[in-house]
Structure 1
């Protein structure tokens, strides 16, 4: 039996979890803005948010390389101020996973926010609650089902990303090689036994993780 290095699996899970958390923190305000706003600016923001879904992964990865590479203003700033680089690091993998997965959270949360009964919100305002209080105690609980679905989709997309992650983070063993990239490398090397084993491990892990997430989602929604 082929010897299996489980580092890519653990890295994939860590990258996906981190990207999903960031997607929640960054995506919720954007989704709420899009749900409540109309006009050209909101349409432009919505279009930009959707781009990662329709762009080829290589094109998206290229844009990220140009934006975050060592010769870019952002890359130079990070290197000068923090003595670190973004591309070809686990940080680059997280950013790539975040960019490809955040549209799924935003789209789902936006639809959920838009479906909240405005009469309930108005009633809370009549009772003297602040906008911040209404958001966290009224709107967020009512919209949580859609947000939870978006989180599941976002995590699944981040876990399985290949193209953008390969372009931005590379395939450095025991550093930036995620599970999809490890499978690709095994096939490229002609090691079908290892590739089959990695595919099986990835499939079982994905099913288990999504099952647990769906169970937790049901408990949160019911609770």
Structure 2
């Protein structure tokens, strides 16, 4: 803009090298052709640099998108060390329970009192076998129900905690929000463990049933089961 003027001079350059000059002050010196050429060449160079920068930015964006897509398709969750210790503790409890069951004489509670060298009849052996299998089945169902009840209780507590948070979050302090997040994390961990235990129990239940059935058929105290009818 010139002094005390509200309009300004302009220069328009075309690709063919032609230029259009609008000069507000008619008394001002017009730019020399050499100066216009120099300005035109500077603009061409600036345009070239700008296009190169745009292409480089587009390439960087493309690479970032490829990287993020690859990362999202290959997500791997790592369990913190503290959680690994807790999971192992939970598994140890299950192993101890299994060891106790293994050491337990599965058959003796169902055997009738026999005298001397008296052997079980086939009917008695069948009855003992059925009672023994039923007792195992009942224990497996009871354990599954206990785990499921704990899982339902934990899930309900988490849902209630989340509802309370959504209702009161506007009035909560930063410390209260942090406590909430920790509580949710703990609850989610317990739910994960219970779901894992329930799934494992369901997978092992049928195996334990057939394993006991095989032991019963091989137990000498039920040898009459092998006798022909």
Fold-level similarity (TM above 0.5): no
TM tier, shorter chain? 0.3 to 0.5
Say which structure is richer in helix: 1
TM-score, normalization: structure 2? 0.32
The structure, 1 or 2, with the larger RCO (C-alpha pairs under 8 Å, 6+ apart) is 1
TM-score, normalization: structure 1? 0.33
Greater C-alpha radius of gyration: 2
